[in-house]
Amino acid sequence: MFKIIKKEFLSKNVARIIIEAPYIAKSRKAGNFIILRIDKNGERIPLTIADANIEKGTITVIAQKVGVTSHKLCDMNVGDTILDVVGPLGTATHIANVGTVLCAGGGVGVAPLFPIVQAMKFAGNRVITVIAARTKDLVILEDEMREYSDELIIMTDDGSLGEKGLVTLGMEKVIQREKVNEAVVIGPAVMMKFAALATKKYNIPTVASLNTIMVDGTGMCGACRVSVGGKTEFVCVNGPEFDAHQVNFDEMLSRLNAYKEKEATGYNDYLKSLEPILN
C-alpha cells in the first residue's frame, strides 16, 4: 500500500498528488514514470514522476481527470492508500551540458517537463521554458518552472496570461533571437508535431516525450507502438522520449483515437455507478 501524503488541485481538473514511495524516490530520474493501480479491480495507468523527495521518501505525480482511473485518483484524499505503485520505469532523459536548452510544454504536459527543466538547469545549461494552455486558469507549475528557468515564457490561446498565441509562437521568438542547442517538447500530440516542425526548420536537435499514448506501460499490450524513423518502437519500454524529427505524429494521432469510444463508454458507466451515492 502506498499512502497519499498530500493532494492539491493545480486547476479544476488537474491534481498534484504526493505519494509515499521511498524506494522509487531514491531511484527515479528525469523522464521516468510509474504504473499505479488504485485497487484490485482497477486498471493500470502510467504517470510521469514529476518530482521526488529522497529525504521524505515521496514522489509527486500530476494527474488530469480524463478517464475513470484518473478521476478516482484525483478524488482520493490525504491518508488514502493506493494498492500498487511500480517504478521507476522508462528510459531516463539524456541530460548533458549542451548550452541553451529550449523546453516547451503544453497543457498537462508541463508536468513531465518540470523534472527535465530541473535536471537541465542542474547540469549547467541556460534553460528557456515556454509553457502554454488555453487560458490562465489552466496554466500549471508557473512558479516551479520560473524557479529553475533562466527565462519563462507563458502563452495562452486567449491572451489571459502571458502572451496570446500557441506554444510554437513563443518557441519561434526564442529561436529567432538566439542560438538554441537543444529542445525538449512535451504535450498533446498535435502540439508536439508542430513544435517539432518549428525546430526542424532550424536544425535544432529535439526530443519529444510520447507518454500520452501509453496504456499498459510494460510493452505487453502493444497500444503504444509508434513509428520513429520508419522503425516501430514501443513508447513504454523504448522511450518515452524520442527524436521528435523522426516521429510519425500523424500515425500517433490516429492511434490515440482508437480507444476514444471505449474510454467514453467506461467513463459514462462510472458516472452511472456514482448516481446512487450522489443521490
Count up the domains in the chain and report the number: 2
- pLDDT tens sequence across 93-120: 999 999 999 999 999 999 999 999 999 9
How many angstroms separate the CA atoms of 171 and 156, rounded? 13
127 inside domain: yes
Per DSSP, which regions of 135-237 are E strands? 151-156, 163-164, 182-186, 206-209, 225-228, 231-234
pLDDT at 278 over 60: no
**End position of a domain, from candidates 49, 64, 89:** 89
How many angstroms separate the CA atoms of 191 and 108, rounded? 12
134 inside domain: yes
> What was the pLDDT predicted at 4?
97
Joined grid coordinates for residue 180: 538554441
> What was the pLDDT predicted at 82?
96
Mean pLDDT for all residues in the chain: 89
Residue 267 pLDDT class (50, 70, 90 cuts): low
- What CATH number has the domain bearing residue 57? 2.40.30.10
- pLDDT tens sequence across 215-252: 766 666 777 788 889 998 888 778 789 999 999 988 88
> What was the pLDDT predicted at 255?
76
Among 10, 21, 1, which residue's Cα sits nearest to residue 80?
1
159 inside domain: yes
> What was the pLDDT predicted at 183?
97
How many angstroms separate the CA atoms of 116 and 187, rounded? 14
Query: Does 40 lie in the same domain as 141?
Result: no
> What was the pLDDT predicted at 68?
87
Contact predicate 74/245, CB 8 Å? no
- What CATH number has the domain bearing residue 123? 3.40.50.80
Query: Does 216 lie in the same domain as 115?
Result: yes
Query: Does 142 lie in the same domain as 84?
Result: no
Q: Which domain holds residue 201?
A: 100-257
Query: Does 79 lie in the same domain as 140?
Result: no
How many angstroms separate the CA atoms of 81 and 30, rounded? 25
What 3-state DSSP class applies to 7?
Answer: strand
Query: Does 120 lie in the same domain as 81?
Result: no
56 inside domain: yes
- pLDDT tens sequence across 143-185: 999 999 999 999 999 999 999 999 999 999 999 999 999 999 9
Query: Does 246 lie in the same domain as 179?
Result: yes
Query: Does 249 lie in the same domain as 168?
Result: yes
Query: Does 45 lie in the same domain as 155?
Result: no
79 inside domain: yes
> What was the pLDDT predicted at 41?
87
> What was the pLDDT predicted at 269?
64
> What was the pLDDT predicted at 251?
86
Query: Does 251 lie in the same domain as 114?
Result: yes
Per DSSP, which regions of 116-198 are E strands? 126-133, 151-156, 163-164, 182-186
Say whether pTM exceeds 0.85: yes
266 inside domain: no
Conformational region of residue 42, where left means phi above 0, alpha means psi within -120 to 50, and beta covers everything else: beta
4 contacts: CB under 8 Å, gap ≥ 6 = 17, 18, 19, 20, 76, 77, 78, 79, 80, 81, 82
How many angstroms separate the CA atoms of 188 and 134, rounded? 12
**End position of a domain, from candidates 59, 89, 119:** 89
Query: Does 207 lie in the same domain as 176?
Result: yes
Q: What does each C-alpha distance from 132 to 17, 21, 103, 175, 245 come to in angstroms?
A: 22, 30, 11, 17, 21
pLDDT at 271 over 80: no
Q: Match 513531465 to its residue by C-alpha cell.
A: 112
146 inside domain: yes
Query: Does 110 lie in the same domain as 82?
Result: no
**End position of a domain, from candidates 62, 89, 116:** 89
- Buried b / exposed e over 178-200, threshold 16 CB at 10 Å, is eebebbbbbbebebbbebbebbe
Of the listed ranges 10-19, 176-185, 207-216, the least confidently predicted one is 207-216
274 inside domain: no
Query: Does 250 lie in the same domain as 122?
Result: yes
pLDDT at 138 over 60: yes
Of the listed ranges 8-12, 211-215, 232-236, the least confidently predicted one is 211-215
